[in-house]
Amino acid sequence: PAMRIDVVTVFPEYLQALDLSLIGRARKRGRLDVRVHQLREWTHDVHRTVDDSPYGGGPGMIMRPEPWGEAFDALAPAEGPVPHLLVPSPAGVPFTQRMAEQLSTEPWLMFACGRYEGIDQRVIEHAATRMPVTEVSLGDYVLFGGEVAVLVIAEAVTRLVPGVLGNAESIVEESHTTGLLEAPLYTKPAEWRGHEVPEVLVSGHHAKIVRWKRDQALLRTARTRPDLLAATPVGEFDKHDRA
Ligand code: ADE
């Protein structure tokens, strides 16, 4: 059964990237059902207004609740199954590989893309009376809107959906799946511009290669992401680990 993804945005063109590459292929093969909607379709004034000034003052404009309410009514009627609504926001919970794994098991995701300073909070409150809602942040920086965040989240999630990625094995060892960064990777030629592929990888000694990859992952993580290493439960380390 295909995973359904609805995206509501005032910039549907941003989501054209979802027609490309492996996500595009998965859609053509019927593994993903992606639908992008223009929020302005749910406005009624001639200017198709989606924003207004903030109560309480402050800079910029806020997305008005009414078009969002109508969009949710149309896409996820109160009776029947409901999607998990994801609202990208720098004020959300940090997006992680763990979250991507959980979301990849859900049958239906819906994304609400905020622009300007953000969406009226009652949109999230009201949606939460009907469906699971998660405000999610890509990281501690600010984008113009949620569209690029949707591309990132949709890619991280859908590549974990069975049948989307050709080679399911490549998911098992990669960075963040194990909680550590992945060891460096090499292909042919064995020597290139004076740089050689590490000897052990061409040795054919499987057990040594496994140990080397593990050591490299530990070293790399210790050097560039000590926070990840510190968060690894002691039980995850084996007796040969040292860093
Ligand atoms: N919208 C604006 N900034 C964002 C961020 N850092 N993460 C998710 N959505 C956003």
Please tell me the distance between residue 137's alpha carbon and the centre of ligand 1 in angstroms.
5
Give the pLDDT score at 76.
97
Closest ligand 1 atom to residue 138 Cα is 7
Residue 165 has pLDDT above 90, yes or no: no
Under the banding of pLDDT at 50, 70 and 90, the label for residue 140 is very high
Choose which residue among 62, 117, 138 to substitute to test ligand 1 binding: the one with the highest number of ligand atoms within 8 A of its C-beta.
138
Preceding peptide of 189 cis, ω within 30°: yes
Indicate the average pLDDT of the chain.
Answer: 95
Residue 180 has pLDDT above 90, yes or no: yes
Is 140 annotated to bind a ligand? Reply is: yes
Ranges of CATH 3.40.1280.10 domains, the chain: 3-158
Give the pLDDT score at 169.
66
CB of residue 7 inside a 6 A radius of ligand 1:
no
pLDDT tens readout for residues 29-60: 999 999 999 999 999 999 999 999 999 999 99
CB of residue 141 inside a 6 A radius of ligand 1:
yes
Closest ligand 1 atom to residue 139 Cα is 6
Q: Tell me the percentage of the chain whose pLDDT exceeds 90.
A: 88
Is 186 annotated to bind a ligand? Reply is: no
Three-class DSSP labels, the chain: CCEEEEEEECCHHHHHHHHCHHHHHHHHCCCEEEEEEEHHHHCCCCCCCCEECCCCCCCCCEECHHHHHHHHHHHCCCCCCCCEEEEEEEEEEECCHHHHHHHCCCCEEEEECCCCCEECHHHHHHHHCCCCEEEEECCCCCCCCCHHHHHHHHHHHHCCCCCCCCCCHHHHHCCCCCCCCCCCCCCCCCEECCEECCHHHHHCCHHHHHHHHHHHHHHHHHHHCHHHHHCCCHHHCCCCCCC
Distance of alpha carbon 50 from alpha carbon 64, whole angstroms: 6
CB of residue 137 inside a 6 A radius of ligand 1:
yes
Crossing angle of helices 147-158 and 21-28, in 10° steps, is 70
* Domain 178-236 grouped into CATH 1.10.3720.10: no
CB of residue 151 inside a 6 A radius of ligand 1:
no
Under the banding of pLDDT at 50, 70 and 90, the label for residue 243 is low
Q: Tell me the percentage of the chain whose pLDDT exceeds 70.
A: 99
Is 24 annotated to bind a ligand? Reply is: no
Distance of alpha carbon 236 from alpha carbon 179, whole angstroms: 9
Residue 171 has pLDDT above 90, yes or no: no
Under the banding of pLDDT at 50, 70 and 90, the label for residue 178 is confident
Residue 231 has pLDDT above 80, yes or no: yes
* Domain 3-158 grouped into CATH 3.40.1280.10: yes
What are the tokens at 75?
């896409």
Give the pLDDT score at 193.
98
pLDDT tens readout for residues 79-130: 999 999 999 999 999 999 999 999 999 999 999 999 879 999 999 999 999 9
Distance of alpha carbon 189 from alpha carbon 221, whole angstroms: 27
CB of residue 90 inside a 6 A radius of ligand 1:
yes
Ranges of CATH 1.10.1270.20 domains, the chain: 178-236
